[in-house]
Amino acid sequence: VKKRATAQQVADLAGVSKWTVIRAFSEGKSITEDSRAKVLKAAEELKYSPNLLARSLATNQTNQIAVLIDDFGNPHKLPFLEALTERLQAEHKMAMLVNLGPNYDMSAALTNADQRQVDGIILLGTAISAEAVENWREQSATLPLYVLARHTQVPGVVAVDCNAEIAISEIGSYLYGRGYRKPAFMTGPRNQSFALGRFQRFTDYWRDHGVENIAAIPAHRYSLEEGAAAIRAYLSATPVEQRADVIMCENDALALGALESARFEFKLRIPEDLAIVGFDNARLAARPSYDLTTYEQPIVPMVSTLVDMICGRRPAQSTSLKGRLVVRGSA
Amino acid sequence: VKKRATAQQVADLAGVSKWTVIRAFSEGKSITEDSRAKVLKAAEELKYSPNLLARSLATNQTNQIAVLIDDFGNPHKLPFLEALTERLQAEHKMAMLVNLGPNYDMSAALTNADQRQVDGIILLGTAISAEAVENWREQSATLPLYVLARHTQVPGVVAVDCNAEIAISEIGSYLYGRGYRKPAFMTGPRNQSFALGRFQRFTDYWRDHGVENIAAIPAHRYSLEEGAAAIRAYLSATPVEQRADVIMCENDALALGALESARFEFKLRIPEDLAIVGFDNARLAARPSYDLTTYEQPIVPMVSTLVDMICGRRPAQSTSLKGRLVVRGSA
DNA sequence: TTGTAAGCGTTATCAA
DNA sequence: TTGATAACGCTTACAA
Residue B140 or A62, more confident? A62
- Give A73's contacts in chain B (Cβ within 8 Å): 78, 283
Determine the average pLDDT of the residues in B267-278. 98
Nearest CA in chain A to B108: A89
CA distance B193 to chain A (A): 25
Contact A96 B64 (CB under 8 A): yes
- Give B91's contacts in chain A (Cβ within 8 Å): none
DSSP string of B127-165, one letter each residue: ---HHHHHHHHHHS----EEEESS----TT-EEEEE-HH
Residue B141: its pLDDT value, please? Answer: 66
Alpha-carbon dihedral angle through residues A29, A32, A33, A38, given to the nearest 10 degrees: -100
Nearest CA in chain B to A289: B289
- Mutation test of the interface with chain B: which of A104, A266, A287, choosing the one with the most B Cβ atoms within 10 A? A287
CB within 7 A of strand D: which residues qualify?
A 16-17, 19-20, 23, 30-32, 34-35, 54, 57-58, 60; B 3-4, 6-8, 18-19, 22, 25-26, 48, 50-51, 54-55, 57-59
For B102, residues 6+ apart whose C-beta sits below 8 A from its C-beta are none
Contact A81 B96 (CB under 8 A): no
Q: Angle formed by the axes of helices B77-90 and A77-90, to 10°?
A: 70
Contact B50 A115 (CB under 8 A): yes
- Give the distance, in angstroms, between residue A295 CA and nucleotide D6 C1': 57
Whether the CB of A141 is less than 7 Å away from nucleic strand C comes out as no
Instruction: Decide: A258 and A231 in contact? Cβ < 8 Å.
Output: yes
For B71, residues 6+ apart whose C-beta sits below 8 A from its C-beta are B77, B125, B126, B221, B222, B223
CB nearest to A72's CB, from B82, B95, B260 = B82
Nearest CA in chain B to A47: B139
Low-confidence ranges of chain A (pLDDT < 70): 1-2, 141, 191-196
Q: What's the residue count for chain B?
A: 331
CA distance B141 to chain A (A): 7
- Examine the pLDDT at B100 and tell me if it is beyond 90: yes
Whether the CB of A19 is less than 7 Å away from nucleic strand C comes out as yes
- Give B51's contacts in chain A (Cβ within 8 Å): 115, 117
**Which nucleotide is closest to B17, CA to C1'?**
C3
Determine the average pLDDT of the residues in B288-310. 98
Residue B196: its pLDDT value, please? Answer: 63
Cα–Cα distance, B146 to B138 (Å, whole number): 17
Residue A190: its pLDDT value, please? Answer: 80
Instruction: Decide: A234 and A274 in contact? Cβ < 8 Å.
Output: no
Residue A197: its pLDDT value, please? Answer: 84
Nucleotides of C under 7 A from a protein CB: 1-5, 7-13
**Which nucleotide is closest to B57, CA to C1'?**
C8
CA distance A231 to chain B (A): 15
Contact B97 A81 (CB under 8 A): yes
- Give A96's contacts in chain B (Cβ within 8 Å): 64, 94-97
- Give the distance, in angstroms, between residue A95 CA and nucleotide D5 C1': 36
Cα–Cα distance, B151 to B33 (Å, whole number): 51
- Give the distance, in angstroms, between residue B157 CA and nucleotide D9 C1': 35
pTM value is 0.95
- Give the distance, in angstroms, between residue B83 CA and nucleotide D13 C1': 39
User: Per-residue confidence at B118, pLDDT binned at 50, 70, 90?
Assistant: very high
For A263, residues 6+ apart whose C-beta sits below 8 A from its C-beta are A269, A270, B288, B289
Cα–Cα distance, B20 to B2 (Å, whole number): 25
Side-chain half-sphere CA neighbours of A308 within 13 A: 13
- Give the distance, in angstroms, between residue A35 CA and nucleotide C15 C1': 20
- Give the distance, in angstroms, between residue B324 CA and nucleotide C5 C1': 59
Nearest CA in chain A to B284: A224
Nearest CA in chain B to A79: B72
Mark out the alpha helices in chain B (DSSP H runs): 7-14, 18-25, 33-46, 52-59, 77-90, 106-115, 130-139, 164-177, 198-208, 224-237, 252-260, 299-310
**Which nucleotide is closest to B9, CA to C1'?**
D9
Question: Per residue in A290-307, is it b (16+ CB within 10 Å) or e — as a string?
Answer: bebbbbbbbbebbbbbbb
Residue B263's CB is within 10 A of a number of other CB atoms, namely 20
User: Per-residue confidence at B268, pLDDT binned at 50, 70, 90?
Assistant: very high
Determine the average pLDDT of the residues in B138-146. 86
Nucleotides of D under 7 A from a protein CB: 1-5, 7-13
Phi, then psi, of A190 in degrees rounded to 5: -70, 150
CA distance B321 to chain A (A): 24
User: Per-residue confidence at B194, pLDDT binned at 50, 70, 90?
Assistant: low
- Give B330's contacts in chain A (Cβ within 8 Å): none
**Which nucleotide is closest to A20, CA to C1'?**
D2
